[in-house]
Amino acid sequence: MKLLQDIHGGLDPPPNCDEIIVSSGYEYYHYNCDGVDDRGWGCGYRTLQTMCSWMISKAVSQPVPSLHQIQETLVAIGDKEKGFVGSKEWIGSVEVGLVIDKLYDIPCKILHVSNGYQLNSHIQEIRNHFLSNQSVLMMGGESDTSSKGIVGLATSSLTSDSYLLVLDPHYYELSTLDDNEQTTTKSTLQRDGWIQWRNINSFHLNTFYNICLPQTKVLNMT
């Protein structure tokens, strides 16, 4: 199937926000988008693929890796045992950073947030990332195990609220043999919440989060 690009386009911003920063140029990778049914285990891989697609749209010639190639890369660098290839084991922000570093020679910073209560104290660091690196982020947690892409940040000086633009890779649809065929639309994905602005206080409060921040500025990609 043909992948949709920048599915946040046309989405209404959060209320009363005077600064909105959004990363554009990514393709939306999700469950089964390439005919591999990865429901229940592939969300981290799909978020990684979305991040890679953004890098390719800017400067990198290395193609987006398949799920199998991601697993092979982690084995090759010694992070996983050989039995990992072909498995349905999850990957998180740390593994995503390792793959990006290996395949694209782009170092990644892992921002560790001890619990959801602390997310707000890291808003400035996330803001600085979008201003200097601009790339899509990956966010994963402990009890909140669902991987999610972060493609934007919005803040309000009036209310002191902060919002993250969350890209959810768990969307599933049947694959099609036609690479140019699309069976959904941006508006449908927005309506159903696969891309949405979330108040920073809506995340799980009693779990740690790891956020992968690719340091793309080192390659002058932006």
The answer to whether 170 is a known catalytic residue is yes
Which of 43, 52, 108, 212 is an active site residue? 43
The string of DSSP letters for 166-193 reads: EE-TT-B----S-TT---S-HHHHHHTT
Can you tell me the distance from the alpha carbon of 214 to that of 100, in angstroms, rounded to the nearest whole number?
A: 8
- Give the three-class secondary structure for 56: helix
The answer to whether 112 is a known catalytic residue is no
Strands (E), 75-194: 108-113, 137-141, 148-155, 162-167
Can you tell me the distance from the alpha carbon of 66 to that of 12, in angstroms, rounded to the nearest whole number?
A: 33
Buried b (16+ CB within 10 A) or exposed e, 44-72: bbbbbbbbbbbbbeeebeeebbebeebbb
Which of 34, 161, 170, 204 is an active site residue? 170
**Residues near 127 by Cβ (< 8 Å), separated by ≥ 6?**
21, 153, 155
Which of 6, 108, 168, 212 is an active site residue? 168
The answer to whether 168 is a known catalytic residue is yes
Can you tell me the distance from the alpha carbon of 156 to that of 96, in angstroms, rounded to the nearest whole number?
A: 31
Provide the pairing of β-strand 195-199 with 148-155: unpaired
Q: Which residues are catalytic?
A: 43, 168, 170
